[in-house]
Amino acid sequence: MNRYLLPLSVLGTAVGGAVLLRDYIAGGACPSKATIPGKTVIVTGANTGIGKQTALELARRGGNIILACRDMEKCEAAAKEIRGETLNHRVSAWHLDLASLKSIREFAAKIIEEEEQVHILVNNAAVMRCPHWTTKDGFEMQFGVNHLGHFLLTNLLLDKLKASAPSRIINLSSLAHIAGHIDFDDLNWEKRKYDTKAAYCQSKLAVILFTKELSRRLQGTGVTVNALHPGVARTELGRHTGMHSSAFSSFTLGFIWRDTWVAQWLNVCPGP
């Protein structure tokens, strides 16, 4: 029996450590019970992962939710699922390709024309560590989608957001921004060997800088701007890294969405 004691102790320690790690990086559960009836919310990249869970939670809280996605088949399926689970019929699927400036302009124009107000814009969609692809307008894909696409979308909707004040802009960044460096002489990685990790960090740093400057410019308008690191979750975002297919990461991380960051703005978002 004694010969099994050490291996079992090591195994137990490893399993316990993995569970504690998972709980730590998951963060706490959102304590807020705030509801948002009558509030119009746009969530980009809402057909899967964190975006979908965000849309689901906000639909539960009574909002008019617009899922803005590139893949309309998946977007329609997600909207249908959310409507069924929440019994909130005010959940709709709209086409938005953040890798196309034309698509962004068309989406914004439709929002301005058809929506009376926009109270919350959640810039969630992102691509991480993809090959050296470019957007339809020639920008490096990660910088183009993660920063430039949302930059244009936000600015096109600013007047609507101001007119709907008090309103909120939420930009999803990442702790990866700490390792970011913006090379203004080579934003599209045309002069250097492409580094998927560095390109991702650059895009997330750009999101932070954009958030800080936009927040400064919008002081006194009733529109607040915040950026956040959403934590670690097993989503399709990591499909280019292989991490999501790892048995260890699947067990350790799981799908650990906790609507913690939703609370960050729910706790300050005004009532209807």
Of the candidates 102, 109, 177, the residue with the CA atom closest to the CA atom of residue 147:
177
Give catalytic status of residue 200 as yes or no: yes
For the chain, report the end-to-end CA distance as a whole number of angstroms. 65
Give phi and psi for 31, each to the nearest 5.
Answer: -85, -10
Both tokens of 182, joined, read 């913006």
DSSP for the chain? -HHHHHHHHHHHHHHHHHHHHHHHHH-PPP------TT-EEEEETTTSHHHHHHHHHHHHTT-EEEEEES-HHHHHHHHHHHHHHH----EEEEE--TT-HHHHHHHHHHHHHH-S---EEEE-----S--S-B-TTS-BHHHIIIIIIHHHHHHHHHHHHHHT-SEEEEEE--GGGGG----TT-TT-SSS---HHHHHHHHHHHHHHHHHHHHHHTTTTTEEEEEE-------GGGGGTSGGG-HHHHHHHSS---THHHHHHHTTS---
Q: In this structure, are residues 43 and 75 in contact, taking their beta carbons and an 8 Å threshold?
A: no
Q: In this structure, are residues 34 and 238 in contact, taking their beta carbons and an 8 Å threshold?
A: no
Residues labelled as active-site residues: 200
